[in-house]
Amino acid sequence: MLPGDYSSSLFQLPLLATMAEAPEANAALVLAGVMLSLVVIYLASKVGGEICARINLPTVLGELVGGVIIGVSALHLLIFPGSGIEASASQIMQILQGTTTLDPAALQVTFNAQSEVISTLSELGVVILLFEIGLESDLKALIQVGIQAAVVAVVGVTVPFVLGTAGLMLLFQVPAIPAIFAGAALTATSIGITAKVLAELQRLSSREGQIIIGAAVLDDVLGIIVLAVVGGLVKTGEVQVTNIVYLVISAAAFLIGGILLGRLVSPALVGLIDRMKTRGSLLLVSLIMAFVLSYVAVAIQLEAILGAFVAGLILAETSKQHELGEQIKPIADMLVPVFFVVVGARTDVSVLNPFNPANQEGLIIATFLVLVAIVGKVVTGLAVFGLPGINRWAIGVGMIPRGEVGLVFAAYGATTGALNPALQAAVIVMVIVTTFIAPPLLRIAFGPDGAAGPEVLVAESSAN
Amino acid sequence: MLPGDYSSSLFQLPLLATMAEAPEANAALVLAGVMLSLVVIYLASKVGGEICARINLPTVLGELVGGVIIGVSALHLLIFPGSGIEASASQIMQILQGTTTLDPAALQVTFNAQSEVISTLSELGVVILLFEIGLESDLKALIQVGIQAAVVAVVGVTVPFVLGTAGLMLLFQVPAIPAIFAGAALTATSIGITAKVLAELQRLSSREGQIIIGAAVLDDVLGIIVLAVVGGLVKTGEVQVTNIVYLVISAAAFLIGGILLGRLVSPALVGLIDRMKTRGSLLLVSLIMAFVLSYVAVAIQLEAILGAFVAGLILAETSKQHELGEQIKPIADMLVPVFFVVVGARTDVSVLNPFNPANQEGLIIATFLVLVAIVGKVVTGLAVFGLPGINRWAIGVGMIPRGEVGLVFAAYGATTGALNPALQAAVIVMVIVTTFIAPPLLRIAFGPDGAAGPEVLVAESSAN
């Protein structure tokens, strides 16, 4: 009769916990662990962000570094279950065990549950970020630079892939499959990091900003296609043409169809919202739209963030753009830092230690990959045509960060056995370096003006 | 080297999933499940809320009923793992399996992970709700009605407990321990439901509203103490005096100490926020405070929501009250409906079916418990003294809903074996009835004026 899981209700569970026999996660303690993790994440993001704002670096870099410090590389406050990581290694779980009634037998399930929640919150964070970016974007401007963005994306995928694969095979005698795999990892662009920095610099709506965002979105789609191609190569030794055709068609249909359909239904939606009488109607109807499109994106094997971006683009064209933007802001402030801190926390920077002999082979290859990664994306700026006076350097630099997308390639390579440890480490180093240097480089690329966001009150002339 | 769980990153995982060997939850699909659940929750909350707003009932009632409809009682869209509930019974998981690459072997882990996330989001929802209620409360007014609130709380715990326990023993020949347990379940007050209705009626800051909120907070503390007493009785047959003394002292120390300490540090905190340069500083510093106090509350075996309420009270006294209130509003709009819909979804209303012979014994006892539950709380209004012209009826009615707190008693009773199925069903029926009738009763109690919230545009005269 009782839907059994009432024992996972919020209330009075520390008392109930003492009676539990099976080691089941106690909801009150999972919540406590999640809240403690959020406190640590927010502290790391604010301390890192404030320091970076003061030394004139993008705050997102501070959030990433803050994440590295509390994560698997250093303090072990925020770590996630996985290869060889036990619940007892998590300092959050240690605190939880020391201060609450947490049963040692329930340590692992509580750790897993808490990690699952924080992980999903961080992913909701990047979904909300892309929704916000879409909401602040101008679809017409984006379409105007569409061809340039497409060229930038294609060049930014082709050049690093060809240079990287050929270089690894010719210079380092890496076999074809691993070389192709590492080359593929070079093609990614982290739209999250790039978009956040552009927003901080107040350059999202500039022509350069729109080209970068457009190219990064297309790059996400291309990345999925590249991964499908490479994955097929690794598994079956041949390229699965039908799969690629399916991905290309579904991606195009989703981006174009989503926007057209959205434009059709959004007036009715706005009318509906205006007739609703309860609190939060605009926000919830918009979130329903964002989540539905994100879900459809996942269902057709694209990324959730693409759906959220399209939903933002559609709603940006309605009369509610400004009001919704105001309401999304606190939600983004709450969830987006979770994403960047978690990306930092998950990054094991110990592969960067040159004094560890096990790292040395990887670091040599990594140096090559980093060079290709930077050059291969910076040249994309040169491919922009027909826009005199455009900041080509900024566009190229904006495409540099690989972020979480590059790490997925590395993880995928490790799972399939395509990458040996040295090559895998090299890919991770490449991802770390490009991710962490891109924000300051982008600020420099836009010059002193670009850095003059309203929140940066320190004198600009001495910096850069 | 790679913090293994990158495979649970957001990106391109549908492709990775096809390669997974061990049935591990795929993060992209967990996210998809969570987003789909949120869509269903938001639809249920808005449809239910809008219907209730139009027929002049509190929207929270619509959210609860919307939850019942999508939950375990009807559509099985939003259900949670537990006694006899399989992942395959969840319609959300069925949709996920039908539309994505979800591996059948990973169905159960994905269901568990998604449920854990939704469950925790709903608990964060009530934490944010109590934070917001605290932020909208006036500490001075609350202290002014402190004695009245304490009297209301004590009367509201004593009368239902004595009437319920004695009635069950004398009228229904229930043995002492189960009778005491069922009596204890009658003592709870759901602060969440009461506070939400008061906010909707714009009566939070009225004297009646402040007394109800103050009494409901104290009732939460008293409820924890009652549960400790009863739990000790069931387990050891005796009352654990030291445990009770500990709970009373720690609760008093927490409420008073938290407020005093908060008042001391809040000016420094506001000064710090003013000097911060990054986006979202006010919000994140406030959330850090709310989560830290919530964590401390859990650590000393109180409830997380008490900590959030105290944090809100403290910040309400700062110059940032209004600005923070504006920022918390969208976050509450996003998370609070999750709480109410989940409470509804978890409630199995099949125990209310009088045509099921198995329910009949429980329903007869339930009728008695419902009467005691209502009378026992309504009389608390009579106990208010020294405030001529106060709406005693409204105060009494405001204490009626048992909500999730009452269900914890029922679940606890089932786990310990103290309640037999009929008595457990009766307690659940009592909780359902008091929870669902309290919002409309409260609106009636405050009269036509009270119902005239700014969002209610329909004519009031014909209603009530």
Nearest CA in chain A to B8: A119
Nearest CA in chain A to B112: A113
Q: Do B455 and A278 touch (CB under 8 A)?
A: yes
User: What HEC string does chain A produce?
Assistant: CCCCHHHHCCCCHHHHHCCCCCCCCCHHHHHHHHHHHHHHHHHHHHHHHHHHHHCCCCHHHHHHHHHHHHCCCCCCCCCCCECCECHHHCHHHHHHHHHCCCCHHHHHHHHHHHHHHHHHHHHHHHHHHHHHHHHHCCHHHHHHCHHHHHHHHHHHHHHHHHHHHHHHHHHCCCCHHHHHHHHHHCCCCCHHHHHHHHHHCCCCCCHHHHHHHHHHHHHHHHHHHHHHHHHHHHHHCCCCHHHHHHHHHHHHHHHHHHHHHHHHHHHHHHHHHHHCCCCCHHHHHHHHHHHHHHHHHHHCCCCHHHHHHHHHHHHHCCCCHHHHHHHHHHHHHHHHHHHHHHHHHHCCHHHHCCCCHHHHHHHHHHHHHHHHHHHHHHHHHHHCCCCCCCCHHHHHHHCCCCHHHHHHHHHHHHHHCCCCHHHHHHHHHHHHHHHHHHHHHHHHHHHHHHCCCCCCCCCCCCCC
Q: Do B83 and A301 touch (CB under 8 A)?
A: no
* Residues of B whose CB is below 8 A from A224: 12, 15
* Residues of A whose CB is below 8 A from B119: 5, 8, 27
ipTM exceeds 0.90: no
| DSSP calls for B278-292 | STTHHHHHHHHHHHH
Residue A94: what pLDDT?
93
From B419, B344, B370, B375, select the one nearest B74 (Cα to Cα).
Answer: B344
* Residues of A whose CB is below 8 A from B85: 3-5
CA angle A121, A124, A128 (to 5 degrees): 135
Q: Do B280 and A50 touch (CB under 8 A)?
A: no
Q: Do A231 and B294 touch (CB under 8 A)?
A: no
* Residues of B whose CB is below 8 A from A295: 32, 35-36, 39
| Distance (Å) from the alpha carbon of A375 to chain B's nearest alpha carbon | 24
Q: Do B279 and A455 touch (CB under 8 A)?
A: yes
Q: Do A421 and B1 touch (CB under 8 A)?
A: yes
Nearest CA in chain A to B30: A120
Residue A137: what pLDDT?
84
Q: Is B117 helix (H, G, I), strand (E, B) or coil?
A: helix
- Please check whether residue B161 is in contact with residue B232, taking contact to mean a CB–CB distance below 8 angstroms: no
- List the single residue in B50, B304, B405 with the smallest CB-CB distance to A28: B304
Nearest CA in chain A to B362: A1
Distance CA A175, CA A177 (A): 6
- Please check whether residue A76 is in contact with residue A58, taking contact to mean a CB–CB distance below 8 angstroms: no
Q: How many CA atoms lie within 13 A of B138 on its CB side?
A: 13
* Residues of B whose CB is below 8 A from A327: 329-330, 333
From B328, B345, B327, select the one nearest B45 (Cα to Cα).
Answer: B345
* Residues of A whose CB is below 8 A from B100: 298-299
Give the pair of three-digit tokens for residue B386: 């020294």
- Please check whether residue B124 is in contact with residue B38, taking contact to mean a CB–CB distance below 8 angstroms: no
| Distance (Å) from the alpha carbon of A388 to chain B's nearest alpha carbon | 34
Reported pTM: 0.86
Q: Do A100 and B298 touch (CB under 8 A)?
A: yes
| DSSP calls for B1-12 | ---SGGGGSSTT
Distance CA B374, CA B377 (A): 5
Q: Is B118 helix (H, G, I), strand (E, B) or coil?
A: helix
Q: Do A333 and B348 touch (CB under 8 A)?
A: no
- List the single residue in B46, B291, B350 with the smallest CB-CB distance to A38: B291
What is the tens place of the pLDDT at every residue in B195-246?
A: 888 988 888 888 899 999 999 888 888 887 887 778 777 777 777 788 788 8
Residue A142: what pLDDT?
84
* Residues of B whose CB is below 8 A from A13: 408
Nearest CA in chain B to A79: B3
Task: Report CA-CA distances (Å) from B386 to B137, B148, B205, B392, B396.
Answer: 22, 9, 19, 12, 16
Torsion, CA B205, CA B209, CA B215, CA B221, rounded to 10: -60
From B240, B233, B163, select the one nearest B416 (Cα to Cα).
Answer: B233
Distance CA B326, CA B53 (A): 23
- List the single residue in A12, A283, A334 with the smallest CB-CB distance to B224: A12
From A215, A202, A222, A217, select the one nearest A442 (Cα to Cα).
Answer: A202
Query: In a mutagenesis test of the B interface, which of A7, A9, A198 is the best target, namely the one with the most B β-carbons within 10 Å?
Result: A9
Query: In a mutagenesis test of the B interface, which of A35, A83, A233 is the best target, namely the one with the most B β-carbons within 10 Å?
Result: A35
Query: In a mutagenesis test of the A interface, which of B7, B11, B435 is the best target, namely the one with the most A β-carbons within 10 Å?
Result: B11
Q: Do A2 and B348 touch (CB under 8 A)?
A: yes
Q: How many CB pairs under 8 A join A and B?
A: 364
Q: Is B82 helix (H, G, I), strand (E, B) or coil?
A: strand
How many CB atoms neighbour CB B150 within 10 A? 15
| Distance (Å) from the alpha carbon of B256 to chain A's nearest alpha carbon | 21
* Residues of B whose CB is below 8 A from A100: 298-299
| Distance (Å) from the alpha carbon of A327 to chain B's nearest alpha carbon | 6
| Distance (Å) from the alpha carbon of B335 to chain A's nearest alpha carbon | 10
| Distance (Å) from the alpha carbon of A386 to chain B's nearest alpha carbon | 33
* Residues of B whose CB is below 8 A from A15: 224, 227-228, 231, 301, 412
Gyration radius from chain A CA atoms:
23
Residue B321: what pLDDT?
94
Q: How many CA atoms lie within 13 A of B449 on its CB side?
A: 5
pLDDT in tens, chain A (464 residues): 233 333 333 333 333 333 334 456 788 899 999 999 999 999 999 999 999 889 878 888 899 899 999 998 899 999 998 767 888 899 999 999 999 888 888 899 999 999 999 999 999 998 999 899 889 888 888 888 889 999 999 999 999 999 999 999 999 999 988 898 899 889 988 888 888 889 888 888 888 999 999 998 888 888 878 877 787 777 777 777 887 888 888 888 998 999 899 889 999 999 999 999 888 999 999 999 999 999 999 998 888 888 999 999 999 999 999 999 999 999 999 999 999 899 889 888 888 888 888 888 889 999 999 999 999 999 998 888 888 888 999 999 999 998 777 777 777 777 677 888 788 888 888 988 998 898 899 989 988 654 433 333 333 333 33
Query: In a mutagenesis test of the A interface, which of B6, B26, B126 is the best target, namely the one with the most A β-carbons within 10 Å?
Result: B6
Q: Do A331 and B330 touch (CB under 8 A)?
A: yes
Distance CA A151, CA B188 (A): 65
| Distance (Å) from the alpha carbon of B222 to chain A's nearest alpha carbon | 11
Residues of chain B with pLDDT under 50: 1-22, 450-464
* Residues of B whose CB is below 8 A from A283: 330, 333-334
Long-range CB pairs of B243-247 (<8 Å, 24+ gap) are: B247/B221, B247/B301, B247/B302
From B24, B14, B115, select the one nearest A80 (Cα to Cα).
Answer: B24
